């Protein structure tokens, strides 16, 4: 129940090692960087290293063995590899749009077209 509440408390939720300001593993850092590239700054991040119960609880909840884990609108998206793939193929822009979040990459593309 607590995990369910955390997953649904915000449109974008990340369970990671460390914090967005100080990620404590390369995969968590990559997720933070991908979100930053898209201009997503308003999200909830939970440091699983601070709470072993949360660390195991989120793995059980998502049925996914690794951290970080990303949830969009309460739905499990995946870890670093899946978020990277979504970033590369454009799916992340579309998923963010469904949440009412305009990817900063769209604005960057327009700036490039003007040049």
Q: Write out the binding residues for [2Fe-2S] cluster.
A: 25
49: left (phi > 0), else alpha (psi -120 to 50), else beta? alpha
Do the beta carbons of residue 88 and residue 75 sit within 8 Å?
Answer: no
State residue 77 phi and psi, 5-degree precision: -95, -45
Q: Which residues carry a binding-site annotation?
A: 25
- CA atoms in the 13 A half-sphere facing the CB of 16: 25
């Amino acid at each position: 129940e607590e995990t369910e509440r955390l997953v649904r408390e915000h449109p974008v939720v990340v369970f990671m090692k460390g914090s967005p300001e100080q990620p404590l593993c390369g995969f968590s850092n990559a997720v933070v960087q991908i979100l930053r590239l898209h201009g997503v700054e308003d999200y909830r991040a939970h440091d699983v290293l601070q709470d072993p119960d949360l660390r195991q609880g989120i793995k059980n909840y998502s049925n996914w063995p690794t951290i970080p884990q990303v949830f969009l609108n309460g739905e499990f998206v995946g870890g670093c590899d899946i978020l990277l793939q979504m970033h590369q193929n454009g799916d992340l822009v579309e998923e963010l749009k469904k949440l009412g979040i305009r990817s900063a990459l769209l604005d960057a593309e327009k700036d490039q077209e003007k040049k």
